[in-house]
Amino acid sequence: VQLQASGGGLVQAGASLRLSCAASGRTLRRDTTAWFRQAPGKERELVALLFRSGGSTYYEDSVKGRFTISRDNAKNTVYLQMSSLKSDDTAIYYCAAAPQSAIWSTVVQGLGFIYWGRGTQVTVSS
């Protein structure tokens, strides 16, 4: 199973970016898929998740209203649309997937994710 994240870059504050995470070797349609980020000197944090077949979403408080997670099942790809970017959003962003057996109370804690992609750097200049 491979998750390939892309779409990061260097942008100015207020700009938008869309991250993509293409999966191979596994169909994500029934998985819980998520984006995490890790800023320098900080712990990795859960940014957004799409629960199982897409019935529910979770967003970390600081990104609510600015980030949107979505999935294209035909392309087996997960997206993170980021808008109104701030310097605090600077981090390495990782996509991850948890199998269908992972329950809500587990994944919203950032646990249960067993498939991980390599990160993509997002740098927001102020």
Q: Which residues pair with 90 in a beta bridge?
A: none
| Six-digit token string for 112 | 């249960």
| Tens-place pLDDT, residues 2-36 | 999 999 999 999 999 999 999 999 999 999 999 99
Q: Give the pairing type, strands 77-82 and 67-72.
A: antiparallel
pLDDT in tens, 51-73: 998 779 999 999 999 999 999 99
Cα separation of the two ends of the chain: 37
d(CA 113, CA 126): 33
